[in-house]
Amino acid sequence: MADSVPAASPSGPDNPRSNIRDPMVARLVGPGKEFELEDAIVAGRPHQVFKGAPRNLAGLFRQGMAFGERLMIVEGDVKITYNEGFARAAALGQALQQRFGAGKGTMIAVVTSNRAEWIIAMLAVTSFGGIAALVNSRGVAEEMLRAIDQVGCELAILDAERDDIITAERPDPEWPRIVIGTPQVVLRQGRDADFAQLSQADPGIAFEPEEMDPESGAIVLFTSGTTGFPKGALLSNGALAHSVSIACFIGTMQDIRYEEESGETLPENRRAMATPAVILGPMFHLGGIMPTLRALSVGTTIHFVGKWNADVAFEMIENVGMTRLSFVPAMLFDMFRSPRATPELLGQIRYMVNGAAPLNLELVEQIRARLPNCQLSNGYGQTEATAWTCGISGDIYLEHPAACGWPPPSVSVQLRREDGSEADIGEPGELWVRSPMLMNEYVGDPKATAETLQDGWLDSGDIATVNELGIFSIVDRKKNMVISGGENIYCAEVERVLMGHDAVREVIAFGKPDSRLGERLVATVVPESGAEQSEDDLKAYCKLHLAIYKVPREVSMRSDLLPRTATGKIDRGKFLKSVKGEEA
């Protein structure tokens, strides 16, 4: 439990607009109200947190344990109740400790597709204070092994498909393998184990989550940046627990706003937080882990539905009663073009939550026309801030469709000029965040940690503006990131891989507008003198080193060298302006 302390003002530039909240916040937050705040010390600094809310994952899990025979997970024909899920996690957790010597702080890789076992593994690892390193399971062997090695994993839980990919590259890994299914490389006697055997429920083994310090690490998510190599962001028990509390607060606020703006009173099972959690994105992203933790805390059912297509969404609306859809623009693009997009089916959706990329105005108008009784909301956050930085919903969002919104309670946002001073209203500035949800560190990278976390604030790397209402809007991504179909692709990582090809002298990767994906990744290559490499050759090379969604959709060649700044670096801004000029 965090220690209570007197309130203190954050250090750094003082931007009064950073304290402006959604006007509805005052109705829910305050002494004696549903979401009362209290002062606490988090990571050695004063913050505010929700009074009485869980301070660690054990608190969230205990809430879930109260739901007994309610369905926790549905994956095709597989159905697991809350009792069964926690019982299997208890057995696995005991085996990890007694057979493999895992304990508090032990780093354990979880490398699987979206599946029920992923949740069992996450519950088991974090229940005794282990750290679950959520490795990108869509990557090639090189990417997965680099992540496992980078953060020092001592064990790995893998599904057979991922194990086959990894052991083809490293047949005898130094860490034990716990495999879901039947791998091609047989389990090593005395070292490896079968997941199903270890997670077999035993009536004599109870799920008793350890009361961890809120500041202790719980999960590692991998995020890239300007270096071209993913970094492991360590998120604490307290950050994850508080992020779930913020989500519950936002959901309550959306319910109130929906009923007031639509005039419709929703039954409990159709409210924002009660609808089934349908996992469409990968579990190794915030978009997978956070809906899972929210669902576990409030007792909703988690549905795994496999690869995305529009029929998946309509099946969930029609047969499961999904009323809340977390989406990326490409999903809506597909749904609106489906013959199943009838007014009756679309009309069952009451909430649509966007958090991946800004919506274009044409799509907003389609939503207004085809889902007149649906509340649209947008959010902005990042891995290093455990999801929540800003949010906006309802009519005010439709009036400001480019906005990411206001900071929620306990979050402060500042816009800074290059010299650290406060940006004026409407002036672009670098967005800095202060909250109880900031990551602990980039594991094994103190330099990058020190650059990103400064004096209790996190440098988001994004450029934003704020208006006179205190509403923030993202206007640029400083870290050269492309969001394509909801996936974050870091240009530096793609450029690093292409520069490893003998035929490539220079390369620049960037995003182009795409009506379905939002952006599509493309690359421009300057080949070495005399080299004869085709676009397909370079794409094939990328596929050997990168997850398929990171492979450029277009690779063009140019004979001239890329423009340079005065210091000799590639002038990305000048190049992109020239590209836009060619397209105009």
Question: In angstroms, rounded to a whole number, what is the distance separating the alpha carbons of residues 335 and 330?
Answer: 9
Residue 12: pLDDT band (50, 70, 90) is: very low
Are 45 and 56 within 8 A, CB to CB?
no
**Whether the predicted pLDDT of 322 surpasses 70:** yes
> Average per-residue pLDDT in the chain?
90
Domain of residue 138, CATH code: 3.40.50.980
pTM of the predicted structure, to 2 decimals: 0.86
Residue 570: pLDDT band (50, 70, 90) is: confident
The angle subtended at Cα 19 by Cα 14 and Cα 20, nearest 5°, is: 135
Q: What's the helix, strand, coil split of the chain in %, to 5?
A: 35, 25, 40
| pLDDT recorded at residue 252 | 95
405 Rama class: left (phi>0) / alpha (psi -120 to 50) / beta: left
Residues 466-522: pLDDT tens digits?
A: 999 999 998 776 667 888 887 888 787 888 899 889 899 889 999 999 888 889 999
Question: In angstroms, rounded to a whole number, what is the distance separating the alpha carbons of residues 510 and 573?
Answer: 11
| pLDDT recorded at residue 8 | 32
- Work out the average pLDDT over 267-280: 87
- Work out the average pLDDT over 383-396: 94
| Residue 437 located in a structural domain | no
| Residue 429 located in a structural domain | no
Residue 216: pLDDT band (50, 70, 90) is: very high
| Residue 320 located in a structural domain | no
- Work out the average pLDDT over 162-178: 97
| CA nearest to 210, candidates 102, 292, 287 | 102
| Residue 54 located in a structural domain | no
Are 504 and 529 within 8 A, CB to CB?
no
Domain of residue 518, CATH code: 3.30.300.30
> What angle separates helix 286-298 from helix 57-65, to the nearest 10 degrees?
50
| Residue 86 located in a structural domain | yes
Residue 531: pLDDT band (50, 70, 90) is: confident
Are 419 and 259 within 8 A, CB to CB?
no
Beta bridge partners of 379: 391
**Whether the predicted pLDDT of 366 surpasses 90:** no
**Whether the predicted pLDDT of 279 surpasses 70:** yes
Domain boundary, last residue among 196, 212, 228: 212
For the beta carbon of residue 143, count every other beta carbon within 10 angstroms: 22
User: Into how many domains does the chain fold?
Assistant: 2
Residue 558: pLDDT band (50, 70, 90) is: very high
Range of the domain at 198: 82-212
The angle subtended at Cα 240 by Cα 223 and Cα 517, nearest 5°, is: 45
Question: In angstroms, rounded to a whole number, what is the distance separating the alpha carbons of residues 17 and 10?
Answer: 14
| Residue 261 located in a structural domain | no
- Work out the average pLDDT over 545-556: 94
Query: DSSP E strands: which ranges in 365-417?
Result: 375-380, 390-393, 412-416
Residue matched to tokens 């140019």: 558
Query: Token digits for 18?
Result: 């950073």
**Whether the predicted pLDDT of 418 surpasses 90:** no
Residue matched to tokens 């809310």: 53
Question: In angstroms, rounded to a whole number, what is the distance separating the alpha carbons of residues 568 and 560?
Answer: 15
| pLDDT recorded at residue 16 | 53
| Residue 223 located in a structural domain | no
Q: Identify the DSSP state of 359.
A: P
Burial string for 3-30 (b: 16+ CB within 10 Å, else e) reads: eeeeeeebebbebebbebebebbeebbe
Weakest mean pLDDT among 44-48, 191-195, 320-324, 375-379? 320-324
**Whether the predicted pLDDT of 11 surpasses 90:** no
Domain boundary, last residue among 151, 185, 212: 212
**Whether the predicted pLDDT of 14 surpasses 60:** no
- Work out the average pLDDT over 58-73: 98
- Work out the average pLDDT over 343-361: 81
Measured between its terminal Cα atoms, the distance across the chain in Å is 57
Residues 441-467: pLDDT tens digits?
A: 999 999 999 999 999 999 998 888 999
| pLDDT recorded at residue 9 | 34
Are 289 and 283 within 8 A, CB to CB?
yes
**Whether the predicted pLDDT of 240 surpasses 80:** yes
Residues in the chain: 584
| pLDDT recorded at residue 550 | 93
| pLDDT recorded at residue 293 | 97
- Work out the average pLDDT over 162-176: 97
- Residue 351 buriedness (CB in 10 A; 0-12 / 13-18 / 19+): buried
How far CA 201 is from CA of 87, 90, 108, 247, in Å, comes to 5, 8, 21, 31
> What angle separates helix 57-65 from helix 237-262, to the nearest 10 degrees?
60
Sheet holding 554-557, edge to edge: 504-514, 518-527, 554-557
**Whether the predicted pLDDT of 205 surpasses 90:** yes
Listed in sequence order, the residues at least 6 apart from 573 whose beta carbon sits closer than 8 Å to its beta carbon are none
Listed in sequence order, the residues at least 6 apart from 235 whose beta carbon sits closer than 8 Å to its beta carbon are 217, 218, 219, 220, 221, 383, 386, 439, 440
Residue 532: pLDDT band (50, 70, 90) is: confident
Share of the chain above pLDDT 70, in %: 93
**Whether the predicted pLDDT of 7 surpasses 90:** no
Are 183 and 173 within 8 A, CB to CB?
no
| pLDDT recorded at residue 2 | 36
| Residue 374 located in a structural domain | no
**Whether the predicted pLDDT of 297 surpasses 50:** yes
Q: CA 145, 149, 154, 160: dihedral to nearest 10 degrees?
A: 0
